[in-house]
Amino acid sequence: MTRHVLAVTLGDPVGIGPEITAATLARTAGAADHHGVAVGDPAALRRGARAMGLDVEVRTVAGFDTEPVDGVIDVVDTGVLGDDVPEWGEVDERAGRAAVAAIELATRAALDGQVAGVVTSPINKEAIWAAGSKHLGHTEMLGELTGVTQQDTMFVVRNTAQEGHHLRIFFTTRHVALRTAIEQITAERVEGAIHRAHTALQVFGVEHPRLAVAALNPHGGENGNFGDEEIVHIGPACEAARGKGLDVRGPIPADSVFHQGLVGRYDGVLSHFHDQGHIPAKTFDFDGTISVTVGLPILRTSVDHGTAFDIAGTGRAGAGTMLSAYLAAVDYAPFADTIRKAYAP
């Protein structure tokens, strides 16, 4: 049996990252087919384990080729904080440096083939900026580290209405104001997003992808009475993609397309702006929805929430989404070589 090793970053050490990482790795420790190794400062991880009331040993290791042991969490030390871990829940430049160092080390390990993938805990943007990072967040940082310029977010809803079916949700635009997102909806941009989503579905194991494209306006625009983006941009993009042999349906009104995807009619749904895709996924199953960054030559899954400074250190953090992100990485680990080849810069 192949044992897939995954690097799990602690995220911001004063947020809930160490707590949910400890809880996830404690629950999965000793598995025969996978081994999660934490990346960060051991003192921060031990503090997180204590906060969660976990009876586990945190073992500092030199690399990722260790033998998993039930009740033991392995951690590769980034050496940033030592025993001087900042206070919980406060923006801190040292915490930002620690978060960045963990991402860099885990990414190098994935590029070198030491691990099958990377699972990331949440980081605080203010903290990494205080530490000198110029990136908006994880995705942009990973793009620079891996040498790629085009990355997309793929939400995976693992617990769908149809057993064994994972719905993937893609996005035409990224983190921009809603007004800007609407302005960015062009036939060229939508068609490009369709092709990238189709490729991602194939790379992640769907042999013949069925992709639905959401409409932007209520009721799909009602033939132009509620907006003409469907007529001018989204419809022509779908038609062009179908003309190239892709199984693409749409535009489909957004108030029904996600339900159709959840019950198994589609493998993926292309949404057009942040909240259009986030709200249905997180409402249906907040803990079962995780984020995969596609376009990178490495496997990377992540939680889809922030550092929760307000409850950091209290032991009240729910580790459900982190566990889902980890288990999704276990699911996708066999595709690590395919991902590397498909998205090599």
Which domain CATH number covers 197? 3.40.718.10
Question: What is the length of the chain?
Answer: 345
Give residue-wise pLDDT tens across range 202-223.
Answer: 999 899 999 999 999 999 999 9
Domain identity same for 138 and 27:
yes
Whether residues 221 and 248 fall in one domain = yes
H-type helices in 112-177, by residue range?
Answer: 125-130, 138-146
165 within a domain of the structure (yes/no): yes
The mean pLDDT of 66-90, rounded to a whole number, is 94
User: Which value, in Å, is the radius of gyration of the alpha carbons in the chain?
Assistant: 20
Across residues 252-270, what is the average pLDDT? 95
Whether residue 163 has pLDDT greater than 80: no
Whole-number pLDDT of residue 289: 86
| In a shared domain, residues 74 and 141 | yes
Please indicate, yes or no, whether residues 38 and 141 belong to a single structural domain of this protein.
yes
State whether 64 and 196 are in the same domain.
no
CB neighbour list of residue 213: distance below 8 Å, 6 or more residues apart:
190, 194, 234, 237, 238, 248, 249, 250, 251, 252, 269, 270
Choose the final residue of a domain: 235, 258, 284. Answer: 284
Mean pLDDT of all residues in the chain?
93
pLDDT band at 184 (very low <50, low <70, confident <90, very high): very high
> Mean of the pLDDT values across residues 258-265?
93
Residue 79, domain extent: 1-149+293-345
Same structural domain for residues 140 and 167?
A: no
